[in-house]
A and B are shown apart, each in its own frame.
Chain A
């Protein structure tokens, strides 16, 4: 396996007459945090869904840890984690029950799963909440739990679709610390976001508009290329070009 966890070449998705994703190419290295910026409807979520094997591309190709999204989606699913913009754990189950469910579905061995769950709960400082129903958790804790569940089975690649929408700055800071810790273990992270300050946290990022990647590079590269002070300015210049 080469160093790139994600290799995307000319990936395209058309819905009838509408092209949601238009010849997108990029690659993400092992342990890299790659950001996806763009307005709503720019094609970020569609791209992620194709990479997760939930949606078949119209043309182009993509490989996740060496597996092809078109005909090896089953293999891919074993190696990826996913967190959607919408909270989607089971609200009526407890913290432990949710993790147990997803861990078991991913085929984790019972003993290993249990150890993993305990260490996550310790990391999240949620010992008092282990047997609490998820619906009773504050939003920040819910988001963190969801991320922890997405990486429970030690995936090689994690897709985060607007993971921090609607949470306060302190939780967001904390959340990004978790992302860094995960990336340090060699996990590649692809994250979409609306927040320009978050874009600064990424190792590399791209800006999408109308299904196309307009610019790609690390934050300082983008700033110098566009002659901008901060990411917000970069974004405005790219979109209004």
Chain B
């Protein structure tokens, strides 16, 4: 136990002495969140939209007026024919087209639920989802302000996702960022710190001591676990405060889940450090082998459903995929453990496989 404390103290000292790296690591999540957050958010201000008003009624004009005064949208075209739709999407680069059918007002005055169709450019998922939710909000509010509203007169908003029928949540980027940061801080730092010791020969000095190697490894990586938990906390707080990420689930469960993913990320880092001999190679493998798949194949930036079958199957062994699913379920749906058993089981399974591989490989390796 004393040698565990000794190695822990040593590693903390090294982290603090290398304070420039530490500051960089702590700033990174802030930059990432703001970068992802605002690149998505900014586009929703004054999104270009077009209107196709077939009813030419006072009710439709009132709704169009609401769209026009809103900060979120600016109307750049008024269409007169459905044939113009495709052309407008192509030439004006609009985000959304609002279509009022010719019977829009009459069905409303006759007590039926009137239809509105929203056609969205969903080539950018996150923008499309946000545009849709803002438009829905404006239309619903316009109807709520109508005095003669009755329960029967609900509006039917028909949404058509142009170009990309599947839609993922706009809250993808907070869980995605946490996964990225965990991979960078935990996997990358773990593999670098371990392969650095091997490269410099200091690991042999430790291996020659009577201490258990596993105890030394654990002592070494705990500081990085702490840093990555701090980073995760930063992202979650920023996500909730600035980007209004909902938090419906249990915080304890959230912390547990982050802890689990951190173990998975750690075991990835340990495995890499066992397989390679130098820091540079470890860094390369982490970037190409973990960072890119986490970015591209976890469902963080691109929906998995739209990938080729091979990549869809492959995405199942990307731990970040399951972490993101579970994290979203907790934060947005308020899911409990009964809904999370699948992602959690897979993450636990992956961690066990990775650790066993490392231990097996380490036992065959000469120090």
The verdict on A105 contacting B13 (CB below 8 Å), with A54-B366, A54-B367, A88-B201 known, is no
Q: Does A59 contact B (CB under 8 A)?
A: no
Cross-chain contact of B10 among A82, A84, A93 (Cβ < 8 A): A93
**Chain A residues within 8 Å of B204, by CB:** 54, 82, 84, 88
Stretch at the interface among A35-43, A72-80, A123-131: A72-80
Closest-by-CB residue of B relative to A110 is B2
Interface membership of chain B positions 326-346, coded 1 if the CB is closer than 8 angstroms to chain A and 0 otherwise: 000000000000000000000
Q: Does A195 contact B (CB under 8 A)?
A: no
Is A92 in contact with B14, judged by CB distance below 8 angstroms? yes
Closest-by-CB residue of A relative to B201 is A88
Closest beta carbon of chain B to A205's beta carbon, Å: 23
Q: Does A107 contact B (CB under 8 A)?
A: yes
Closest-by-CB residue of B relative to A78 is B210
Is B202 in contact with A105, judged by CB distance below 8 angstroms? no
Q: Does A136 contact B (CB under 8 A)?
A: no
Interface membership of chain A positions 70-112, coded 1 if the CB is closer than 8 angstroms to chain B and 0 otherwise: 0000100110101010111111110001001110111100000
Is B18 in contact with A105, judged by CB distance below 8 angstroms? no
**Chain B residues within 8 Å of A105, by CB:** 3, 6-7, 206, 209, 211
Q: Which residues 7-50 in A have Cβ within 8 Å of B in the complex?
A: 49
Is B367 in contact with A88, judged by CB distance below 8 angstroms? no
Is B6 in contact with A90, judged by CB distance below 8 angstroms? no
Q: Does A55 contact B (CB under 8 A)?
A: yes
**Chain B residues within 8 Å of A222, by CB:** none
Size band of the B side of the interface? 20 to 34
Closest beta carbon of chain A to B251's beta carbon, Å: 37
CA distance A101 to B202 in the complex (A): 12
CA distance A86 to B17 in the complex (A): 23
Q: Does A52 contact B (CB under 8 A)?
A: yes
Q: Which residues 1-37 in B have Cβ within 8 Å of A in the complex?
A: 2-3, 5-7, 9-10, 13-14, 17-18
Is B207 in contact with A54, judged by CB distance below 8 angstroms? yes
CA distance A79 to B315 in the complex (A): 50
Interface membership of chain B positions 312-333, coded 1 if the CB is closer than 8 angstroms to chain A and 0 otherwise: 0000000000000000000000
**Chain B residues within 8 Å of A102, by CB:** 205, 209
**Chain A residues within 8 Å of B205, by CB:** 82, 84, 88-89, 102
Residues of B near any A CB (own CB < 8 A): 2-3, 5-7, 9-10, 13-14, 17-18, 200-202, 204-211, 366-367
Between-chain CB contacts (< 8 Å), 19 pairs? A52-B208, A54-B366, A55-B367, A77-B208, A77-B209, A77-B210, A82-B208, A84-B204, A84-B205, A86-B200, A88-B200, A91-B200, A101-B7, A101-B9, A102-B209, A104-B2, A104-B6, A105-B3, A106-B209
A55-B366, A87-B201, A97-B13 are known; give 18 further A-B pairs, CB within 8 A: A54-B366, A74-B210, A77-B210, A80-B208, A86-B200, A86-B201, A88-B202, A88-B204, A89-B202, A90-B14, A92-B18, A93-B14, A93-B17, A101-B6, A104-B5, A105-B7, A105-B211, A106-B209
Residues of A near any B CB (own CB < 8 A): 49, 52-55, 74, 77-78, 80, 82, 84, 86-93, 97, 100-102, 104-107, 133
**Which 10 A-B residue pairs are closest in the complex by CB-CB distance?**
A88-B201, A104-B6, A77-B210, A86-B201, A105-B3, A82-B208, A105-B209, A88-B202, A101-B10, A78-B210
